[in-house]
A and B are shown apart, each in its own frame.
Chain A
Amino acid sequence: MIKRILCTLLLGMLSAQVTSMAGLHDNTPGIFALTHVTIVQKPGTFIEDGTIVIRDGVITAAGKKVTIPEDAFVMDLSGKTVYAGFIESYWKKENKKPSIFNFGDEKKKEQKRPVIDHWSKKVHPEASVLDAFHPNDKELEELRKLGFTTAQVVPAKGIFRGRSSIVHLGDWGADAVITENGPAQFMAFEHGSWGDPGYPGSLMGTISLMRQTFYDANWYADAWQFYNRNKDKTEAPQVDRALGTLAEELNGTRQFCFETKHELMALRVNKLANEFNLNVWLKGSGYEYRRLSEIEELNTFVILPLDYPKIPDVDSWEDALDFSLEQLRHWDQAPDNAARMVEAGISFALTSNDLKNRSQFRTNLLRSIERGFSKDDALAALTTIPAEQFGLSNHGKVEKGYAANLMVTDGDYFDKDTKVLTLWIQGKEFTLEHDLPHDVSGNWVVSFSGGLDLNANLELDQTKNKVSGKLVIDSTDVTLKSVENESHRLTFSFSGKEFDMDGVIRMSGTKQGQSISGSGVTPSGEHISWTASWVNAKEKEEPSDKKEKKKESASEFTPLFPEGAYGFSTLPERTDKILIQNATIWTCGPEGTLENADMYIRNGVIEKIDSDLNISGKDIYVIDGTGKHVTPGLIDAHNHSSAFAINEGTQSVTSEVRIYDVINSDDIAIYRQLSGALTTANILHGSANAIGGQNAVIKLRWGHDPDGILFKEAPQGIKFALGENVKQSNWGDNFTTRYPQTRMGVEQIIRDAFEAATDYAEAQGLDGFKKQSDPNSLPVRKNLELDALVEIMQGKRWVHSHSYRQDEILMLTRIADDFGFTIATFQHVLEGYKIAERLAEHGAGASTFSDWWSYKYEVIDAIPYNGSIMDEVGVLTSFNSDSNELARRMNTEAAKAVKYGGMSQEDALKLVTINPAKQLRIDEYVGSLEKGKHGDFALWNDHPLSIYASCEETWIEGTQYFSKKRDDKLRKKIDEERNTLIQKILASDDEGGGKPMKPEGGWHEHSYSCSEGGVK
């Protein structure tokens, strides 16, 4: 019964049911029997000398013993192989990217859009990809040449991009559509740029918009339900077709397919999936091999590109320097990604998307197979797996009842010499090699008669359809010109000079078997007849230097944690029992600094510190601290490393965005900062707007994934900013229209946000607010922006505010008082010394620079005594870096408080240890060496405030993440690996059709600083 329905459906596709018939009806016969073929029924199963019967687009029989129907047209395909047509899983038609760097052009007009659309032009889940899909024959043929007969068409633009459709890749038309309403909603982490301004302008904003939109969709469903029950009493919710669509999809079985460009993005998707209970697919990046186990745990289906980088140009040693080890390793490992995915048990389909030239797909696939990706797995990833995932129950196999979407080859598809000859799509045959010219190469004897009377030898060379040749008369050569051999017709001309004719003699002819005959004219217009008979083949000059391509083998490298230089082969393990002996221990706690002291750390926690701990045991790891100093791991309360985005600067209030959504645990800054004894950093949003995003406090657990480096016990916080950056003072002359442009406006925008948050909290009667809700109003829409502000007022979220001038600092403390909360820290706070008594009274901490000043007007009065004055007046003070460079030298920054202001050395060290810990409300765990606290410490070879000191080891919770000894070994390993890889590249035959790898040089793709554009 089911089969019959399927057949009927397919039959229906063959003729247009609803199109008006303009001409004659098309009743071309559709019954075929392909005989004597090798049938690859499905991965791993094949039949030799089989027969396939196709009736109106459906396979009605396929096997060894098949009765050929009387009405079938029999095609003998001896020696040929038939596969199920491939399924292209991700056919995205890329639009040209808008040019970036329309710096400051904020006046770009948005197109008029329907009022029922979502407010963000990047959110259109209701869109059908076919609305704007017009493939041309060239694109279809490009796919067919690779063996694709079916494709999932994927929308290319936006964040919520819309739904895919599944189509046949034969003749394009409505009857080629298999499913308009495809299996998935497509999502991408797209955001604006200078050329495309508007929210979201960063990856952080995009994720927040996704999150808010999912909440909105759920709310939308609830709101309509509520309205439908209370129509007489309630106002109707605003119509929004995007939210309507999403609400249905969230309740249904639709997949949400996220496009990823980096393996860490895959992990990020998982967090969203868990938050909203989504069925998730991933469009892979090709970098999955770097975090296989984490991706495997997601238990999701991946659509995998085969985009391998072009061979890096390492011909000169200088140029080679600019390729990072990570890049060189990627060149080597990228072709193994698929095989490693199989090994890890991750289900995936392949796509030819992402390639510079789609035709590179097969080349790359064959490279992977040569390196160990199995043919069966490859075939499955192109047929049965996508068919199953996309719900195409009658696609992907060559079996009875399946669609007659087939590929015919002259051998094993995965052999590079095999040609794809024809495809069958919807029962129609598509020939791929059109108009092959007759081969005319060889030695011929030719006789001319008429206007030219002559016997000669004719020598012709042909490669593909390019022909060249000459006439040999006795020992004279006459070169043929404009030789063409097309559509079975050979034409050429030659100079009449040898024959005492002034001009060009033209000839044409056709080949029949072993002879060519035709006619021509002399320069004076006399007729010539000619015939040529084949004598023998030309001796081919084999290019002697053409060597056999070297066979590729799988990379010997395995990814590091993180991949690239200084990564770990395996994640470092905790040392359960650590005893440091006979060191100068700067506890930064009540015990002060202890000379010749011991410290014992068990299971990552400090157990004892004393002058002579009597602890021994075989399993204790002993560090001899003689002549050395031990300090707590340093803490930086203002840092912008380790994140893929820093500013969502498109709006003045963006409290919904979260740095911890975009943590980049692979940032080399982590390793470098560890080398400077830093163990904890407060990763803050930038200062482009008054209420910025939520921060993330991290531990520098190098090698772990983004979740693994979060300081889990740290309370939540948020970045505010005041002054010039918020007013866009130093952004250039184009930035003069966003509110606010004055410090007066900054105050109002913040006050206004808290008023709105108060109303929102009261409407819900949240903790700490009186309930002011109306039972007849729609349910309150969850607003992530206001949630964060409510949390501030509830004391659950700590404000860290960028600030410089005393007036703005005072202003913010007043707002905080008015709304009943305390500012955790003023950041920079370079005029804090002018109103230190107010900071102390309010209870705000001050996280300042040691000595920065005069880089912009609002720091004209900054002084290096700021820290010591504030400290003396009773403000909880710390020194921060705001710089990946300075974050490696926080100890000597602290020493500046001794120099400027005469702070004691112990108190100075506290500026980068216990004080920032207190400011971040993590002093219960870190910041000093005390019993019960985390075993985060650094071992120094000298007095830690001395310029001559360097950090020898850095430990976090009993795990060593940095040591000079290990670093020395790593340097050697890096050099060796680079040499090995460069030699491999130099010896490689890789012709490199991929996208060129851009040498990283000094620019690390993922490093950001809020100092860009003067936004410090």
Chain B
Amino acid sequence: MKRIILTLTLCSFVFSSDQVPAPVQAHPILLKDVTVHPVSGPTIAKGQILFENGKIIAMGNRIPSIPDGTEEISLAGKHLYPGLIAANTVMGLVEVSAIRSTRDFAEVGSFNPNVRAEVSYNPDSELIPVTRSNGIAIALSVPQSGLVSGTSASMMLDGWTSETATLKAPIGLHINWPNMTVSHSPWVRKSTEEQKKERNKQLRELDDIMDKARAYVKSIEADKSSQKTDLKWDRMAQVVKGELPIFINANNVQQIEAAVEWSTRQGVEMVLVGGTDSWMVTDLLKQNNIPVILESTHKLPSRRHSDYDEPFKTPKRLNDAGILFCIGSNSSAFQAAHLRNLPYTAGTAAAHGLAKDDALKSVTLNSAKILGIDDRVGSLEVGKDATLFITDGDPLEVMTTVEQLYIQGRKVDMSDRHKMLRDKYTEKYRQLDLID
């Protein structure tokens, strides 16, 4: 009898629905008795934060006036952080990486400045709830293919449609810098000469693109213009007019040097993405004021003789050199499903020399600055979005539990496919009387 009752009560879990996007914040919410980690300023022990209509309106040790109808939530012993930001991902653009029909991140052709990540973002991807369960509130979804891949979008990991989920788009135009070295891997079929030829052709193409884009701007802005609209050049026009930064994917030191030279010569604003060897050329990056989105720290050292902890300590090296950097993902389809480990990649950087505060910044405020969304997110400050999460401890520690995430003040459904399957099969073992 007891078991039947137990079973019945648990049925509610088993038959619960898929995750439902949260409604807009209806009334002010005050989170109190909580350790607030604003990231942009000192930690507030036993702090308070008040948000209304999705925006933080007050915070501190004690907020003097609380509006009527405020929902007050006491979070003794808990911690509050700004929502984590995952740069350089294919979130929403892929579901199962091995299945072609679910891959929407690589358009055909080498020159695709016009394609936009946000339009093929699937807000019902099962990957999204799984990812936000670990405190990740925002992901930069990035097109991947060719030389010029398209424009990226910063997406909030909750929303009914791709449009309501878009925080800001476009963020940047993404370029894959050509390979500057010859690969001798057995998986590369092209000869040394072919590889060099292809590289030179691509480098030439990058210069040509900028020339043509300037010609397009000139032509279209002329008083009497016969220039017809061209989707690709329209987008490139934004770049040459300085309205859209270029995010250049480059890992190898030769690529980084060449990309910096090109962006300086072309007078475009550059963000370095990947940046495996960035620690070798910190002077160059510093001089040219180039921020870096590192692709994870959880990867192997780049060369056989590299320090075993080389990728772990690259963040510290960049930080010491005064370079604005954040830690993102490597944008592979495989990693999209594993983006929830983002905080631990920052934790690893902290284990290898980076201060814990700086490690936290590398997945929050720094990311927001580099993506140009720091007016909205990245830290807990009055006027910014109430995009934040509650934990029982340090979010960079694996064992910490994320209890609740708010995105623009909306209380996000913390369930996900994994928890549902867990509940379903836990029920199986209860039925078999194998667990309590």
Residues of A within 8 A of B (CB): 100-101, 318-319, 321-322, 324-326, 564-566, 668, 671-672, 675, 724, 730, 833-834, 836-837, 851-857, 860-861, 863-865, 869, 872-874, 884-886, 888-889, 892, 895-896, 898-901, 905, 942, 945-950, 967, 971, 974, 978, 998-1004, 1014
Contact = CB atoms under 8 A, between A and B. Distances in A.
B6 to A, nearest CB: 16
Contacts of B418: 853, 863-865, 900
Given A861-B421, A1002-B303, 9 more contacts: A319-B181, A322-B181, A325-B305, A851-B341, A857-B99, A873-B434, A888-B308, A901-B422, A942-B351
Interface stretch (B41-49, B65-73, B194-202, B392-400): B392-400
Given A834-B425, A889-B298, A999 B181 contact: yes
B183 A869 contact: no
B180 to A, nearest CB: 8
A855 B422 contact: no
A963 B181 CA distance: 34
Interface of B: 95-99, 126-127, 130, 181-186, 189, 253-254, 257, 298-305, 307-309, 333-334, 336-338, 340-341, 344, 347-348, 350-352, 356, 396-401, 417-419, 421-422, 425-426, 428-429, 432, 434-435
B304 A325 contact: yes
Contact of A865 (B303, B334, B348, B422): B422
In the complex, which of the residues B127, B189, B421 has the most CB atoms of chain A within 10 Å of its own CB atom?
B421
Contacts of B184: 998-1001, 1003
B341 to A, nearest CB: 7
Contacts of B303: 321-322, 324, 1000-1002
A518 to B, nearest CB: 48
B304 A896 contact: no
A899 B425 contact: no
Nearest to B429: A873
Contacts of A668: 304
B425 A869 contact: yes
Contact of A837 (B98, B344, B434): B434
Contacts of B334: 855
A879 B359 CA distance: 27
B234 to A, nearest CB: 35
B190 to A, nearest CB: 11
B96 A857 contact: yes
B109 to A, nearest CB: 22
B398 A898 contact: yes
B215 to A, nearest CB: 34
28 contacts: A318-B254, A318-B257, A319-B181, A321-B253, A324-B303, A564-B305, A565-B304, A668-B304, A672-B300, A836-B425, A851-B341, A853-B130, A855-B337, A856-B97, A857-B96, A888-B308, A895-B398, A898-B399, A899-B401, A945-B399, A946-B399, A947-B344, A947-B348, A948-B347, A950-B309, A974-B305, A998-B184, A1003-B185
Given A865-B422, A896-B398, A950 B352 contact: yes
B96 A855 contact: yes
A702 to B, nearest CB: 12
Nearest to B345: A947
Contacts of B181: 319, 322, 999, 1001
Contact of B127 (A319, A565, A854): A854
In the complex, which of the residues A853, A872, A945, A949 has the most CB atoms of chain B within 10 Å of its own CB atom?
A853
Contact of A945 (B127, B333, B352, B398): B398
> 3 tightest CB-CB pairs across the interface, nearest first?
A947-B347, A856-B98, A565-B305
Nearest to A997: B184
A899 B398 contact: yes
B96 A851 contact: no
B344 to A, nearest CB: 6
A101 B96 contact: no
Nearest to A852: B338
Contacts of B182: 999
A837 B341 contact: no
B422 A837 contact: no
Contacts, number: 161
A1001 B421 contact: no
B396 A874 contact: no
Given A834-B425, A853-B337, A885-B299, A324 B304 contact: yes
Contacts of B429: 836-837, 869, 872-873
B91 to A, nearest CB: 12
B300 A730 contact: no
A873 B435 contact: yes
A890 to B, nearest CB: 12
B94 to A, nearest CB: 9
B107 to A, nearest CB: 21
Nearest to B307: A971
B400 A967 contact: no
A325 B305 CA distance: 6
Nearest to B256: A318
A1001 B299 contact: no
A949 B186 CA distance: 37
Contact of B422 (A856, A863, A886): A863
Contacts of A318: 253-254, 257
Contacts of B351: 942, 947-950
A946 B308 contact: no
A869 B426 CA distance: 7
Contacts of A946: 397, 399
A952 B119 CA distance: 48
A98 B8 CA distance: 67
Contacts of A675: 308-309
A853 B422 CA distance: 14
Nearest to B424: A834
A854 B309 contact: no
B257 A884 contact: no
Contacts of B434: 836-837, 873-874
Contacts of A945: 398-399
Given A318-B254, A950-B352, A899 B399 contact: yes
B304 A1004 contact: yes
Contacts of B307: 967, 971
Contacts of A950: 309, 351-352
Nearest to B306: A565
A672 B99 contact: no
Contact of B350 (A325, A947, A978): A947
Contacts of B186: 100
A1014 B98 contact: yes
Contacts of A730: 98
A321 B303 CA distance: 8
A318 B419 CA distance: 48
Contact of B432 (A100, A672, A837, A886): A837
B257 A1003 contact: no
A905 B399 CA distance: 9
A1002 B301 CA distance: 8
Contacts of A1004: 304
Contacts of A1001: 181, 183-185, 303
Contacts of A898: 398-399
Nearest to A886: B298
Contacts of B97: 854-856
Given A318-B254, A854-B96, A564 B298 contact: no
Nearest to A996: B192
B308 A892 contact: no
Nearest to A977: B305
B56 to A, nearest CB: 28
Nearest to B254: A318
A634 to B, nearest CB: 15
Contacts of A100: 186, 189
A863 B418 CA distance: 5
A730 B96 CA distance: 12
A857 B307 CA distance: 37
Nearest to A859: B96
A900 B426 CA distance: 13
Contacts of B298: 885-886, 889
A1000 B98 contact: no
